């Protein structure tokens, strides 16, 4: 016995949902970076929370601060890079 699956299409929804999420992520990172913690503090927290160390040998390095700062800047600019400005 098989169940019939009904597919309901809403062509506008996926892009709208994606745009909303891009806005939320971008603005969330902006709030985090502009919040009470110093950028260096955020970088240290991300380095240690990632649990990722790269490099070989006895003392692998944490993710460089330069890379973390670039990622934070990139995420905060997602809205400006990928979405059209809102019409007034």
Residue 12: pLDDT above 60?
no
* Count of structural domains within the chain: 1
pLDDT value, residue 15? 84
Tell me if 2 is assigned to some domain.
no
Tell me if 36 is assigned to some domain.
yes
- For the whole prediction, is pTM greater than 0.85? no
Tell me if 4 is assigned to some domain.
no
Percent of the chain residues past pLDDT 90, beyond the cut = 52
Segments forming the whole domain that contains residue 67: 13-82
- Band the pLDDT of 69: cuts 50, 70, 90: very high
Burial label for 31, CB within 10 Å (0-12, 13-18, 19+), is exposed
14-49: per-residue pLDDT in tens? 888 889 999 999 999 999 999 999 999 999 999 888
**CA-CA distances (angstroms) from residue 62 to 6, 24, 44, 58, 76?**
49, 28, 9, 13, 23
pLDDT value, residue 66? 94
């Amino acid at each position: 016995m098989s169940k019939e699956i009904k597919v309901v299409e809403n062509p506008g929804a996926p892009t709208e949902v994606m745009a909303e999420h891009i806005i939320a992520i971008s603005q969330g990172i902006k709030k985090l970076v502009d919040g009470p913690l110093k950028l260096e503090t955020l970088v240290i927290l991300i380095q240690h929370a990632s649990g990722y160390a790269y490099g070989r040998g006895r003392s692998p390095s944490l993710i460089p601060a330069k890379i973390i700062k670039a990622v934070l800047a990139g995420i905060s600019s997602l809205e400006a890079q990928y979405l059209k400005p809102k019409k007034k």
